[in-house]
Structure 1
Amino acid sequence: MSKNKQSCAVGIIAEYNPFHNGHAYHIKKAKELTKADYCIVAMSGDFVQRGAPAIYDKHTRAAMALCCGADLVLEIPSLFASSSAEDFAACGVALLDGLGVTNSLCFGSECGDVEKLSGIASILATEPASYTEHLKKALKSGATFPEARNHGLIASGVLQAEDAHILASPNNILGIEYCKALHRQKSSMTPVTISRKGMGYHDTGLTEGIYGSATGIRKALKESSGLLTAENPILAQVPEPVKEMMKQGFPMFPQDLSVLLNTSLLRLAQEGIPYKNYADVSEELAARIQGQLPDYLPFEEKISSLKTRQYTYTRISRALLHIILGGTSDKVRTGRKAGYAPYARVLGFKKASSGLMGEIKMRGRIPLITKTADAGMILKGEALSMLQHDFYCSHIYQTLVQDKYHIKQNNEFTQPLIIL
């Protein structure tokens, strides 16, 4: 690569929860389609968007990605890594765009048609009167928000009735949010989509030779108590370098949050701190939580007991996780005003891609954090507070792992960068 020529980089926003064959295929195809020199991954940290602990810690998952085609892995700030699809996408886009070197954003979708997804995103981002009038009318008639949104999109002419199923698929919805964030942030990154292959997002079965879903792999890991023998079908679903990492890993599951959840709820009640102060917790949901306070249910059972038609399982899971991690609505609002991603925290990179780091330092609009001990000299105000919140969340995760497995963990100040 000429010193005077800017590299081409493709960005991916991911959780890798855990990393599997479908993710390796995504990275490979992303580089091929965009002819990129590098693949930069913006990845969730130790807690993920569905409101749960990541199955493996962020450093293990970053190493998995780097072994399988990624060149640089950055951490999505924790406030938004476990937030709504809209905030998650907005933060991931802001992070990749802020590097100043990312030319395109590649994501998987069931639809596989980036023009359709971008067209829908444009309407949702700008909310023209032709859309909002029909949306409000449908809501008043008793339609759910997804139903009303489809009605508004069809009525505004951007969506054909036969394509209404597009907004019922998880990866399509997230893809639309990525495109919407690109539009709103006036990003120069070009959206590119790859048709999802293998099992569906929610499918839990594992079949050799077919890409399994992360949901299916997590279910199988839970059923095997995280113990992976050579015959375990999970291992056929992951690339060769990942197999040993999984065998040596310390998987965590939602139920591992149970004691911490009940303790947090009791402490807030004792101190008179309203649950509604926390992100995704409405007054109605706060009242339901208060009414069930003495039940001391395990994490997943608590979610099921609070679930209603209005509040989905994932929405409640995120709300409870925000309470555990101290993610208040005020912090989220402040994080949005700070631009979602006012820094780029490096989890790991490839030695062969070290030139990319130099380009980011030269062209980037946000600071690159490689040494946590130096963060206080690089960041100020809200950016520093957000990073310190990342540290706090990961220290909670590390405490849970140590307690469950009785092993010593590196903390945010002793964990070295993953360099391969």
Structure 2
Amino acid sequence: MENHTSFNVVGIIAEYNPFHSGHAYHIKKAKELSQADYCIVVMSGDFVQRGAPAVFDKYTRTAMALSCGADLVIEIPSLFATSSAEDFAACSIALLDRLGVVQSVCFGSECGDVKKLSAIASVLAEETEEYKEALRTELKKGASFPQARTQALISCGSLEDEETSILLSPNNILGIEYCKAIHRQNSSLSPLTIQRAGSGYHDPIVNPDQFGSATGIRKLLKEKEDNQTNSDSMFLQIPDSARQIAENSFPLFPDDFSSLLNAALLRLSMENLPFEPYADVSVELAARIKKQLPDFLPFEEKISSLKTRQYTYTRISRALLHIILGITSEQISLGKEAGYAPYARVLGFKKASKDLMGQIKTRGSIPLIAKTAGAESNLSELAGSMLRRDFYCSHIYQTVLQNKYHINNKNEFTRSVIIL
């Protein structure tokens, strides 16, 4: 690794909630497609973008990814790991770009056509007058925002009538956001995509003859915990090299955070503090939450009781999670001012790719953090506050994990990064 052109690195943006064979396939194909020597994964920490705790903690998921082809895993700052798809993508791209060694980013998509996704993304990123006028026209007709956006893209010639399903598929939508972030940040990253194989993103059914979805695997894990099944079939969806890690791990689910949620809501009400400063909490949603305060519902029932046509399940889940984690709209705005990713915190790496970290330290434009001791010494005040928020969020997760399973869990200051 004497110069930047002597090695090739591909980046992957992931949650691995949990890691399964489809993810291992993605890593393998990403390396093949990009002809990369190394694969760097930027991954959500202990809480994920849909507004929920990760089913396995971040160190477990890191170990699984490293055992299946990833060379280095870096944590996405919690402010943006639990934010909108647009902010999640913007932070992830900024993080990969600022490492200084990544040439391409590879993501899964339903359509498998990176040129089409990039073309749509460029229109959305630039927001030309033609597009904005078409969007306004459709919204005035009473169309929902997704419908209006689709029709506006058709009007601008970026989408054909028969291609409208592209904007209805979750991996396509995220892929467009990644391409949009690359465009807006003037990043040199090249987008690559692999067509999604196996079950759909939200498919709750796990078919043993194809790649399962993370949704389906989480469902089976929950059913096993609730004694609805004695089967360990979900573990067959995990590659052999990572299966034992999963089998020896302790899953958490949204309802495990019900007491924390109700306590946070009661405290805010008791102290007469507003709910609206928290990210994703509108005035209307705050009023609905206050109205239902004494119900003490479990986390997922609380979401369902608050859901309306205007507020999706995921939007409400993120809003409630932000209240638990103390994440406000102001903090997110400040995080954007800091460039989304003012540091890169290492969760784990392979011994064989240790030189890669040396190259990042040399070529990267942000500090690479492998140890918590003294981590803030090279950070600005704002970046330091973001890192402390990461620690806080993980300590919340670890508190619930320890309480549920009565295990002694190391905290963020005593736990070492994963090295395989």
Q: TM-score of the superposition, structure 2-length normalised?
A: 0.98
Alignment check: 8 A CA contact 1:226 1:250 kept: no
1:46 aligns with 2:46: yes
Shift of 1:6: 3.7
Distance 1:225 1:37 in 2: 40
Letter matched to residue 150 of structure 1: T
CA change 1:357–1:310 in 2 (3 A) is same
Name 1:398's counterpart in structure 2. Answer: 398
Does the 8 Å contact 2:54/2:253 carry over to 1?
Answer: yes
Shift of 1:376: 2.2
**Separation in 2 of the partners of 1:294 and 1:227?**
30
Tell me if the contact between 2:19 and 2:61 (Cα under 8 Å) persists in the aligned partners: yes
The equivalent residue for 1:323 is 323
In the alignment of these two chains, the number of paired residues is: 420
Mapped contact 1:55–1:252 kept (Cα < 8 A): yes
AA aligned to 2:71 is D
Unmatched runs of 5 consecutive residues or more in structure 1? none
Equivalent in the alignment of 1:188: 188
**Matches of 1:246 and 1:83, distance apart in 2:** 27
Distance, in Å, in 2 between the alignment partners of 1:66 and 1:415 is: 17
Q: Is the 8 A contact 1:109 1:175 kept in 2?
A: yes
Conserved 8 A contact 2:107-2:194: yes
Moved over 3 A (4+): 1-6, 226-231
Q: In the alignment, which residue of structure 2 is the partner of 1:234? A: 234
Partner of 1:178: 178
Shift of 1:209: 2.2
The answer on 1:270 being equivalent to 2:270 is yes
Contact 2:4 2:101 in 1 (8 A): no
2:185 aligned partner, one-letter code: Q
In the aligned structure 1, how far is the partner of 2:365 from the partner of 2:226? 41
Q: 1:129 to 1:3 in 2, by over 3 A?
A: closer
SS in 1 for 2:355: helix
2:13–2:107 CA contact under 8 A, matched in 1: yes
Q: Which amino acid aligns with 1:401?
A: L
TM-score, with structure 1 as normaliser: 0.98
The answer for unaligned runs of 5 or more in structure 2 is: none
Give the drift of 1:146: 0.3
SS in structure 2 opposite 1:207? Answer: coil
Matches of 2:203 and 2:142, distance apart in 1: 30
SS at match of 1:197: coil
1:250 equivalent to 2:250? Answer yes
> Considering only aligned residues, what root-mean-square deviation do their CA atoms show, in Å?
1.4
Distance 2:324 2:229 in 1: 34
Alignment of 1:12-411 (within 5 A): 12-225=12-225, 232-411=232-411
User: For residues 213 and 357 of structure 1, do their structure 2 counterparts lie closer, same or farther at Cα, with a shift above 3 Å needed?
Assistant: same
Of all paired residues, the percent bearing the same amino acid is 66
| Shift in alpha-carbon separation, 1:221–1:314, aligned structure 2, 3 A | same
Whether contact under 8 Å (2:130, 2:156) holds in the other structure is yes
Tell me by how many angstroms 1:141 deviates: 1.4
1:220 to 1:336, Cα distance in 2 relative to 1, 3 A: same
Displacement of 1:380 after TM fit? 2.2
DSSP-derived class of the 2:375 partner: helix
- Do the aligned partners of residues 61 and 162 (structure 1) sit closer, same or farther apart at CA in structure 2, a change above 3 Å counting? same
Please tell me the residue identity of whatever aligns with 2:410.
N
The Cα of 1:5 is off from its aligned counterpart by 4.8
Hey, what's the Cα distance between the residues in 2 that align with 1:228 and 1:288? 33
Greater displacement, 95-104 / 367-376: 367-376
Deviations 1:158-192 (A, max 9, x none): 00010001000000000000000000011000000
Q: How far, CA to CA, are the matches of 1:183 and 1:69 in structure 2?
A: 28
CA gap of 1:4–1:366, structure 2 versus 1, over 3 A, is closer
Find the aligned partners of 1:149 and 1:112 in 2 and give their Cα distance: 21
* 8 Å Cα contact 2:55-2:253 kept in structure 1: yes
2:270 alignment partner, SS class: helix
